[in-house]
C-alpha cells in the first residue's frame, strides 16, 4: 500500500503543476513562452526555469546516448563490411589466377581479328572452290558421256583448250601432220622421210594426250585442294568463335567479381565516413542543444499579473452585449411566424383586412373577450373590429346578402372571438346571423349562455327541429341572431356537405343581410373547404407571433385546391408595443392577452 500511496501522491503533484503550467508559441516567431501560475513569486519563476533546463539536458542526454549507440552499431557493421570486402577481393584474385587472365580485353581483340581474317579467307576460298568445282563437274560429265577412253573428248574444254602447253603441243601436232601430208605427195609410204615424219607425228600426238591427262589431273587436284581449304577454314572459324565465347564467359564472371568488390568497397568507405562524422559530432553535441535555447529566463515578479479586474469587467460587458445581440438576431432568424402587415403582404402576397390587438385577461375571463366589442366599445380592440366591419361592408356594396366564413389554420388563433365580436359590429348596422359550424368543438352557444342541449345547426340540418327552435334571438343589446352547433353529430362533414344544408343556407340568406359562419380550422378537418364554397368572402384569422408561415401557407393552399380564393386576412393577437401598424395607442387603453381561443 505504501508504494501505491507514493505513486498517487506523485501523480497528484504532477497534475497540480500541469494545471498551472502554460506553454504556447509566440505568433510569427520561433519562440515558445512558458509560464507558471503560483501565489509564490519565486516558485512561479523557478518552475519554468527548471523545466526548460531539464528539457535541454534531457535532449542532450538522449542525443548523446543515441550517438553512442549509433557509433557502436557502425563499428560492428564496419568490421563485417571490412571482412566482406577482403573476401571478395581474394575471390577475384583467385579467379584471375585460375583462368590465367591478364588482359581480357587484349585477348578478345586478337581473337576478334582472327575471326575477321578467317572469315575473309573463307569467302575467297569458297569462291575458288566454286570455280574449281565448275570445271571439275565439266570433266566428270565428259568422262561419263565419252565412250572412247582417249583424251580427244577433253580437248573441247576451255580449261584444256586454253592451257599454254596444250596449245604448243597441239601446234606441233598440226605442223607434223602438215609435214606428213606434204611428203606423202612426193614420196611413198616406205620412204625414210615419210617414216620419219610419221614417227614425229605420233610423238606429237602422244605428247598432246599426255599433257591433256596432266591438265585433267591438275583440275581434279585443284578442286580437292580448294574443298580441303574451305573445310579447314570453317573449322578454324568455329574454333575462333568458341574461343571468343569462352572469353566472354570469363569476362562476365570477372566483371561480376569486380563489381562485388567495388560495391563492398564503396559501402565500407560510406560507413567509414559516417563513423568519422559521428565520432566528430559527439563533442559538438555535448556543447549545444538543437531543441532550443533560453532567450530570457523567468524573473521573480514584484507584482501579481492577475486578476485584471478592469479588463475582466470590460470583456464581460462586451461579451454580454455580443451574446445578447447574437441571440436576438438568432431568435429573429429562427422565428418564421407571421408578425405584422409586412409579413402578410411579403410572405403570403395578399392584402391584410385588419389587425386585432392582444388582450390580456385571465383564463376565467375567456368569455369576456368575446363580448369585448359591447362591453368596452371605446377600446382599441373594438376600434379594430369597426375598421374590419367597414372593410367588409365596403367590399360588399353590390352584394345584397353576404355569407362570411370565418376560419384559421389551427386551433387557438381567435377565430370564434373574432366571429362573435364582428357579428356584434355588423348587427349594429344590418340584420346579422351567427352560425356555429365548428361542430367538433362548439363554443358559440356557451358564449351566449345557451344550454349544450339547445337545438342548433345539427338538428336543423337533420330535420328534427324547426327554424324557429334553432334560431336564438338575442336581446336589443346583442342585435344578432345565433344558430349554435347543437348536439355534436357523429358525421359533421356529411351534414355540412349535404343538399339539406345548402337549402337551409339559401333560405337564411333571404332573411339576413350578413351571415357569419364560424367553422373548424383548415389544417384540422375539411369542414372549412366545404363551407367556403357557399361563402361570399372567407375571413382567414392568423395569430401573430405564433402561427408559422408554412402552416398558414398550407392552410390557404387547401382552400385553393377547392377553388376558393382567400382575399381577406385578419391578423390577431398583435402586440401593439412592437407593431407600428396599429394606430389606436392614443386612447391609452390596453387590456392584455385574453386567454385561450376557442
Question: Percentages helix, strand, coil for the chain, rounded to the nearest 5?
Answer: 60, 10, 30
Instruction: Rank 54-58, 190-194, 540-544 by mean pLDDT and report only the highest.
Output: 540-544
> 397 pLDDT exceeds 90?
no
Residue 388 and residue 528 in one domain: yes
Residue 420 and residue 543 in one domain: yes
CA distances from 477 to 20, 333, 425, 470 (A): 80, 47, 11, 20
pLDDT, average across residues 420-434? 92
Give the pLDDT of residue 508: 94
Give the pLDDT of residue 309: 64
Answer yes or no: is 149 within a domain.
yes
Helix (H, G, I), strand (E, B) or coil at 23: strand
Give the pLDDT of residue 514: 93
How far is it, in rounded angstroms, from Cα 105 to Cα 255?
Answer: 12
Please report which confidence band the pLDDT of residue 80 belongs to, taking 50, 70 and 90 as the band edges: confident
Please report which confidence band the pLDDT of residue 409 belongs to, taking 50, 70 and 90 as the band edges: very high
Percent share of the chain, pLDDT over 70: 82
Residue 274 and residue 343 in one domain: no
Of 429, 424, 344, 392, give the one whose Cα is nearest residue 535.
Answer: 392
Segments forming the whole domain that contains residue 151: 104-285
> 267 pLDDT exceeds 80?
yes
Give the tens place of pLDDT for each residue, 183-195: 777 777 777 877 7
CB 519 within 8 A of CB 406: yes
Q: What is the DSSP string of 155-214?
A: TTSHHHHT-HHHHHHHHHHHHHHHHHHHHHHHS-TTSHHHHHHHHHHHHHHHHHHHHHHH
All cell numbers assigned to 311: 479588463
How far is it, in rounded angstroms, from Cα 13 to Cα 27?
Answer: 31
Please report which confidence band the pLDDT of residue 591 belongs to, taking 50, 70 and 90 as the band edges: very low
Please report which confidence band the pLDDT of residue 372 belongs to, taking 50, 70 and 90 as the band edges: confident
> 154 pLDDT exceeds 70?
no
Answer yes or no: is 63 within a domain.
no
Answer yes or no: is 322 within a domain.
no
Instruction: Rank 19-28, 203-212, 328-337 by mean pLDDT and report only the highest.
Output: 19-28
Residue 236 and residue 345 in one domain: no
pLDDT, average across residues 105-127? 78
Of 532, 553, 567, give the one whose Cα is nearest residue 437.
Answer: 532
Instruction: Rank 85-99, 363-377, 516-530 by mean pLDDT and report only the highest.
Output: 516-530
Please report which confidence band the pLDDT of residue 482 belongs to, taking 50, 70 and 90 as the band edges: very high
Answer with the residue of higher pLDDT: 283 or 436: 436
Answer yes or no: is 97 within a domain.
no
Answer yes or no: is 67 within a domain.
no
pLDDT, average across residues 73-89? 81
Map grid coordinates 611428203 to a residue: 183
- CB-based burial of residue 77 (10 Å sphere; 0-12 exposed, 13-18 middle, 19+ buried)? middle
Give the pLDDT of residue 596: 33
How far is it, in rounded angstroms, from Cα 589 to Cα 372?
Answer: 13
Residue 426: which residues within 8 A CB-CB, separation 6 or more?
389, 392, 393, 432, 480, 513, 514, 516
pLDDT, average across residues 201-215? 74
Residue 561 and residue 475 in one domain: yes
Residue 262 and residue 352 in one domain: no
Answer yes or no: is 503 within a domain.
yes
> 507 pLDDT exceeds 50?
yes
Please report which confidence band the pLDDT of residue 248 belongs to, taking 50, 70 and 90 as the band edges: confident
Residue 562 and residue 434 in one domain: yes
- 106 C-beta neighbours (distance < 10 Å), count: 9
> 287 pLDDT exceeds 70?
no
CB 514 within 8 A of CB 433: yes
- 341 C-beta neighbours (distance < 10 Å), count: 19
Residue 249 and residue 372 in one domain: no
For the ranges 271-280, 431-440, 582-591, the lowest mean pLDDT is seen at: 582-591
Residue 562: which residues within 8 A CB-CB, separation 6 or more?
529, 532, 533
Give the tens place of pLDDT for each residue, 549-574: 899 999 999 999 988 888 889 999 88
Give the tens place of pLDDT for each residue, 312-333: 778 878 888 887 777 766 766 6
Instruction: Rank 7-21, 167-181, 447-461 by mean pLDDT and report only the highest.
Output: 447-461
The string over 369-403, giving b where at least 16 C-beta atoms fall within 10 Å of a residue's C-beta and e elsewhere, is: bbbbbbeeeebbbbbbbbbbbebbbeebeeeebbb
pLDDT, average across residues 510-530? 92
pLDDT, average across residues 269-284? 74
Residue 178 and residue 267 in one domain: yes
Residue 381 and residue 516 in one domain: yes
Answer with the residue of higher pLDDT: 275 or 437: 437
Please report which confidence band the pLDDT of residue 166 belongs to, taking 50, 70 and 90 as the band edges: low
pLDDT, average across residues 149-174? 65
For the ranges 40-49, 278-287, 288-297, 313-322, the lowest mean pLDDT is seen at: 278-287
- 540 C-beta neighbours (distance < 10 Å), count: 28
Please report which confidence band the pLDDT of residue 541 belongs to, taking 50, 70 and 90 as the band edges: very high
pLDDT, average across residues 410-425? 92
Instruction: Rank 103-112, 240-249, 471-480, 503-512 by mean pLDDT and report only the highest.
Output: 503-512
Helix (H, G, I), strand (E, B) or coil at 546: coil
Answer yes or no: is 561 within a domain.
yes
Give the pLDDT of residue 26: 80
Q: What is the DSSP string of 61-123?
A: HHHHHHHHHHHHHHHHHHHHHHHHHHHHHHHHHHHHHHTT-S-HHHHHHHHHHHHHHHHHHHH
Of 536, 534, 527, give the one whose Cα is nearest residue 555.
Answer: 527
Give the pLDDT of residue 587: 31
> 284 pLDDT exceeds 90?
no
Residue 115 and residue 28 in one domain: no
Mean pLDDT value across the chain: 79
Please report which confidence band the pLDDT of residue 521 belongs to, taking 50, 70 and 90 as the band edges: very high
Q: What is the DSSP string of 262-294?
A: HHHHHHHHHHHHHHHHHHHHHHHHTT--SS---
pLDDT, average across residues 243-266? 81
Give the pLDDT of residue 588: 32
pLDDT, average across residues 16-32? 80
Give the pLDDT of residue 589: 33
CA distances from 552 to 102, 537, 595 (A): 107, 18, 22
Q: pTM of this prediction? A: 0.47
Per the structure, how many domains does the chain have? 3
Give the pLDDT of residue 390: 92
For the ranges 15-29, 149-163, 174-188, 467-481, the lowest mean pLDDT is seen at: 149-163
Residue 252 and residue 353 in one domain: no
**Order of all β-strands in the sheet with 480-483:** 352-357, 568-574, 537-543, 402-408, 514-518, 432-436, 480-483, 472-473
Answer yes or no: is 344 within a domain.
yes
Residue 79: beta bridge partners?
none
Give the pLDDT of residue 321: 80
Amino acid at each position: 500500500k505504501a508504494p501505491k500511496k507514493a505513486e498517487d501522491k506523485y501523480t497528484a503533484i504532477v497534475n497540480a503543476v500541469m494545471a498551472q503550467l502554460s506553454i504556447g508559441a509566440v505568433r510569427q516567431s520561433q519562440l515558445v513562452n512558458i509560464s507558471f501560475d503560483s501565489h509564490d513569486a519565486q516558485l512561479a519563476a523557478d518552475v519554468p526555469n527548471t523545466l526548460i533546463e531539464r528539457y535541454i539536458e534531457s535532449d542532450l542526454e538522449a542525443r548523446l546516448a543515441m550517438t553512442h549507440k549509433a557509433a557502436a552499431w557502425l563499428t560492428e557493421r564496419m568490421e563485417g563490411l571490412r571482412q566482406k570486402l577482403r573476401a571478395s577481393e581474394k575471390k577475384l584474385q583467385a579467379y584471375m589466377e585460375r583462368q590465367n587472365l591478364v588482359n581480357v580485353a587484349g585477348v578478345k581483340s586478337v581473337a576478334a581479328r582472327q575471326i575477321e581474317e578467317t572469315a575473309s579467307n573463307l569467302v575467297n576460298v569458297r569462291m575458288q572452290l566454286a570455280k574449281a568445282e565448275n570445271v571439275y563437274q565439266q570433266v566428270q560429265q565428259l568422262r561419263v558421256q565419252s565412250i572412247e577412253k582417249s583424251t580427244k573428248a577433253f580437248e573441247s574444254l576451255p580449261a584444256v583448250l586454253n592451257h599454254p602447253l596444250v596449245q604448243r603441243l597441239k601446234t606441233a601436232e598440226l605442223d607434223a601432220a602438215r609435214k606428213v601430208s606434204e611428203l606423202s605427195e612426193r614420196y611413198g609410204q616406205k620412204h625414210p622421210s615419210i617414216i620419219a615424219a610419221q614417227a614425229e607425228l605420233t610423238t606429237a600426238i602422244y605428247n598432246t594426250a599426255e599433257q591433256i591427262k596432266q591438265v585433267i589431273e591438275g583440275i581434279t587436284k585443284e578442286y580437292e585442294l580448294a574443298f580441303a581449304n574451305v573445310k579447314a577454314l570453317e573449322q578454324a572459324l568455329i574454333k575462333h568463335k568458341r574461343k571468343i565465347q569462352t572469353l566472354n564467359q570469363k569476362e562476365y564472371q570477372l566483371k561480376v567479381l569486380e563489381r562485388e568488390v567495388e560495391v563492398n568497397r564503396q559501402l565500407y568507405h560510406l560507413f567509414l565516413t559516417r563513423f568519422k562524422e559521428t565520432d566528430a559530432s559527439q563533442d559538438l553535441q555535448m556543447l549545444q542543444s538543437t531543441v532550443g535555447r533560453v532567450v530570457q529566463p523567468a524573473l521573480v515578479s514584484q507584482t501579481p499579473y492577475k486578476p485584471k479586474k478592469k479588463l475582466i469587467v470590460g470583456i464581460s460587458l462586451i461579451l454580454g452585449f455580443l451574446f445578447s445581440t447574437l441571440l436576438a438576431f438568432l431568435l429573429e432568424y429562427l422565428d418564421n411566424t407571421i408578425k405584422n402587415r409586412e409579413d402578410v403582404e411579403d410572405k403570403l402576397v395578399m392584402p391584410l383586412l385588419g389587425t386585432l390587438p392582444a388582450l390580456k385577461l385571465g383564463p376565467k375571463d375567456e368569455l369576456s373577450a368575446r363580448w369585448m366589442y359591447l362591453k368596452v366599445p371605446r377600446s382599441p380592440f373594438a376600434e379594430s373590429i369597426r375598421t374590419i366591419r367597414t372593410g367588409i361592408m365596403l367590399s360588399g356594396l353590390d352584394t345584397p346578402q353576404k355569407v362570411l366564413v370565418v376560419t384559421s389554420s389551427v386551433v387557438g388563433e381567435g377565430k370564434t372571438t373574432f366571429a362573435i365580436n364582428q357579428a356584434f359590429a355588423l348587427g349594429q348596422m344590418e340584420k346579422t346571423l351567427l352560425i356555429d359550424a365548428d361542430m367538433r368543438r362548439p363554443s358559440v352557444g356557451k358564449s351566449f349562455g345557451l344550454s349544450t342541449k339547445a337545438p342548433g345547426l345539427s338538428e336543423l340540418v337533420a330535420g328534427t327541429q324547426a327554424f324557429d327552435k334553432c334560431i336564438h334571438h338575442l336581446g336589443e343589446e346583442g342585435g344578432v341572431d345565433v344558430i349554435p352547433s347543437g348536439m355534436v353529430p357523429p358525421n359533421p362533414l356529411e351534414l355540412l356537405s349535404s343538399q339539406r344544408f345548402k337549402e337551409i343556407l339559401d333560405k337564411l340568406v333571404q332573411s339576413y343581410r350578413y351571415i357569419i359562419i364560424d367553422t373548424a380550422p383548415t389544417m384540422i378537418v375539411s369542414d372549412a373547404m366545404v363551407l367556403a364554397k357557399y361563402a361570399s368572402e372567407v375571413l382567414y384569422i392568423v395569430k401573430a407571433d405564433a402561427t408559422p408561415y408554412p402552416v398558414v401557407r398550407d392552410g390557404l393552399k387547401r382552400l385553393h385546391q377547392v377553388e376558393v380564393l382567400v382575399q381577406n386576412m385578419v391578423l390577431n393577437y398583435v402586440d401593439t408595443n412592437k407593431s407600428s401598424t396599429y394606430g389606436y395607442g392614443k386612447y391609452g387603453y390596453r387590456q392584455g392577452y385574453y386567454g385561450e381561443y376557442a
